[in-house]
Amino acid sequence: MKSVDVLADGRIARRFAALKAEGRAGLVTFITAGDPDPVVSQAVLNGLPAAGADLIELGMPFTDPMADGPAIQASSLRALKAGMTVRRTLEMVRGFRKQDADTPIILMGYFNPIHAYGVEPFLAAAREAGVDGLIVVDLPPEEDEELCLPAVKAGVSFVRLTTPTTDEARMPAVMRNTSGFVYYVSIAGITGTASASNTAIDAAVARLKRHTDLPVAVGFGIKTPDQAAEVARVADAAVVGSAIVTRLADGLDVSGGVKPGTVEDVLGFVGELAKGVRAARG
Amino acid sequence: MTKLNTYRSGPDERGHFGIFGGRFVAETLMPLILEVEKAYREARADPAFEGEMRQQLKQYVGRPNPLYYAERLTEQLGGAKIYFKREELNHTGAHKINNCIGQILLARRMGKTRIIAETGAGQHGVATATVCALYNMPCVIYMGETDIARQQPNVFRMKLLGAEVRPVTSGSGTLKDAMNEALRDWVTNVSDTFYIIGTAAGPHPYPAMVRDFQSVIGDEVRTQMQELEGRLPDSLVACVGGGSNAIGLFHPFLDDPSVQMIGVEAAGRGIEKGPLDHAASINGGRPGVLHGNRTYLLQDEDGQILEGHSISAGLDYPGIGPEHSWLHDVGRVEYAYATDQEALDAFQLCARTEGIIPALESAHGLAEVIKRAPKLPKDHLMVLCLSGRGDKDIFSVAKHLGVEL
């Protein structure tokens, strides 16, 4: 049996329905909340929809991001150094929602900061702030009782990661309880390193589509507008993270200060990615 | 204290010891974790696996090592009769090799061709490099650059043994960062690589597997004490970082109610100074999720992991094995602590009274023995796990004593 969205009336489902109507794939952009500081980060976040982001993944910084490569590790540490917390991450979402009621926001991170906040209070606060979904890297389906099931109950999507190592036998368990969309991690590895071949991605998306009616987003290793366009041919969305975070890091001076024009440069890069994604099926 | 019929039945099939343990890993690793679990279960049921392990522990590691009556120390402290379980006499000088033998045999059985490991002080790295040389397997050891700087002799040992030592610069460059980097390697090289975790922590089945491989310590103590004294010991003392030597000593005795057990955490500059000054996860932390399991962790209000401190590089990890967290919560094991200074004092006392230079880790356990033994009757049998030898520590001890080598 194919899995379906248990939260079919949310912002995520509406956005993917709209993309389908437009006949194109979406661009999912990742930034780390509070990187390099809360003010600049809020400016980037607020500018993402106009630059062409269809969905936003907002990273919750953590001291020990085991599945992330050097770019996102560094961005997490910058954010933590600037005083970022779970509470402030939710405040950023609240700030964003004052100007944008439609663009889905998915918080992405690791379980311990949520665990420390308390699962129920966190879910209530996240929903109230306008969070639509969660991606928590270190919670496989074996640990669904921890956060996935309470999240779905609270009306927050739990977006599951599938990987090249997720075999057929395991697929139904991975798809069960997942909602919003399915995130395909296109390489066995960490963020911002190698890129998968187009043929491998084509085959993987086709395989996932046999198991789910949910939209499939593909990420890990997408660095350029051309790569994003290639993925957008076959997937419902392309996810870009490390490349955006690196662009932001390039706009910092040696002391970690933000050079003039950095926010515009990052949003300009997002615009190029969006152009690639939008032209992919043209 | 909660009374249970048995304290030895854990973990459950999902890897839980009460609320602790579990499998908090990325999806990429999950199929592999399940494969390790299955392979381990099959290996345990195979007499050939057990037989090869026993053979190597005997011929290569030198087991059984003695349960030694520390007569001069006993006289000096004037109370309990003190025995040392001499793990420091194992090949490579610590208990770590017991686990490495077991895990590399499992890796071979699974057809894996490459080994990775993390190390803090370098003891587990040396033990892993040793078994990789023995079985001719390529070996990459992740080690924080801070630890590399303070453990040069062990870095050189690993290289002599043919291992590649990769410095880890992320975070503060210590054990937890080395473990992060090893996990990143594993996620990238899932098909051919086996990760030999050095302590009884990490995702299920590692905490149970490492405990089982280390339980040879407690099993031998049980037999040896019967031979020497004709009865069970009254108390067991071991230092706890991740806690593999402690769980190996304790586990075979958990269902013997007369046997008291004390794990000793590293209190660094003092627990009262706050979590940046010690490495006592149970005494100064709270439950959280890191490196694949739920356990007591040093963390701030926001759930960010804190860097512990201890004079002993083998104890300054911000977590502890999940079974210890459970044994603490149900009250079966008591978790005490010793400061840097107490460990240094115990280190010197042991050298002078017994002619044994203990590892600084083991000296934390000894510090607790020194506190307790004088108040106990002379027929109280107390066993300290002397988990490692202290040659690796002489430079840092000299520095603390103001001696230039």
Domain boundaries, chain A: 11-279
CB B299, CB B320: distance < 8 Å? no
Measured over the CA atoms of residue B351, residue B354, residue B360 and residue B363, the dihedral's sign is negative
* Contact flag A80-B22 (C-beta cutoff 8 Å): no
**pLDDT mean across residues, chain A:** 95
The neighbour count for residue B46, using CB atoms within 10 Å, is: 12
- Residue in chain A nearest B303 by alpha carbon: A113
What ipTM describes this predicted complex?
A: 0.95
CATH class of A11-279: alpha beta
| Alpha carbon distance B25, B336 (integer Å) | 30
| Alpha carbon distance B88, B70 (integer Å) | 15
* Contact flag A143-B297 (C-beta cutoff 8 Å): no
CB B279, CB B316: distance < 8 Å? yes
| DSSP-derived secondary structure letter, A238 | E
Comparing A108-117, A159-168, B85-94, B366-375, the range with the smallest average pLDDT is A159-168
Q: Which domains does chain B have, with CATH numbers?
A: 25-58+96-210 (3.40.50.1100), 64-93+214-400 (3.40.50.1100)
| Alpha carbon distance B191, B109 (integer Å) | 14
Measured over the CA atoms of residue A256, residue A261, residue A266 and residue A267, the dihedral's sign is positive
Instruction: Report pLDDT digits (tens) over A24-77.
Output: 999 999 999 999 999 999 999 999 999 999 999 999 999 999 999 999 999 999
Of the residues B304, B306, B317, the best mutation for testing chain A's interface (the one with the most A CB atoms within 10 Å of its CB) is B304
CB A79, CB A35: distance < 8 Å? yes
- Distances in Å between the alpha carbon of A127 and those of A41, A118, A133? 21, 14, 9
pLDDT in tens, chain B (405 residues): 567 889 999 999 999 999 999 999 999 999 999 999 999 999 999 999 999 999 999 999 999 999 999 999 999 999 999 999 999 999 999 999 999 999 999 999 999 999 999 998 899 999 999 999 999 999 999 999 988 987 888 999 999 999 999 999 987 788 899 999 999 999 999 999 999 999 999 999 999 999 999 999 999 999 999 999 999 999 999 999 999 999 999 999 999 999 999 999 999 999 999 989 999 999 999 999 999 999 999 999 999 999 889 999 889 899 999 999 999 999 999 999 999 999 999 999 999 999 999 999 999 999 999 999 999 999 999 999 999 999 989 988 999 999 988
**What would the two tokens of residue B173 be?**
């460059």
Q: What pTM value is reported for the model?
A: 0.96
A68 is catalytic: yes
A57 is catalytic: yes
* Contact flag B305-A164 (C-beta cutoff 8 Å): no
Query: What is the strand order of the sheet B114-119 is part of?
Result: B164-168, B139-144, B114-119, B193-195
* Contact flag A116-B28 (C-beta cutoff 8 Å): no
CB B253, CB B215: distance < 8 Å? no
| Alpha carbon distance B244, B238 (integer Å) | 10
SS (H, E, C) chain B: CCCCCCCCCCCCCCCEECCEEEEECCCCCHHHHHHHHHHHHHHHCCHHHHHHHHHHHHHHHCCCCCEEECHHHHHHHCCCEEEEECHHHCCCCECHHHHHHHHHHHHHHCCCCEEEEEECCCHHHHHHHHHHHHCCCCEEEEEEHHHHHHCHHHHHHHHHCCCEEEEECCCCCCHHHHHHHHHHHHHHCCCCEEECCCCCCCCCCHHHHHHHHHCHHHHHHHHHHHHHHCCCCCEEEEECCCCHHHHHHHHHHCCCCCCEEEEEEEEECCHHHCCCCCCCHHHHCEEEEECEEEEEECECCCCCECCCCCCCCCCCCCCCCHHHHHHHHCCCCEEEEEEHHHHHHHHHHHHHHHCCCECHHHHHHHHHHHHHHHHCCCCCEEEEECCEECHHHHHHHHHHCCCCC
Helix H or strand E segment including A227: helix A225-234
Chain A partners of B30 at a C-beta cutoff of 8 Å? 140, 142, 165-166, 170
Q: Does A183 touch chain B (CB under 8 A)?
A: no
* Contact flag B299-A112 (C-beta cutoff 8 Å): yes
**What would the two tokens of residue B220 be?**
């031998």
Q: Does A64 touch chain B (CB under 8 A)?
A: yes
B13 is catalytic: no
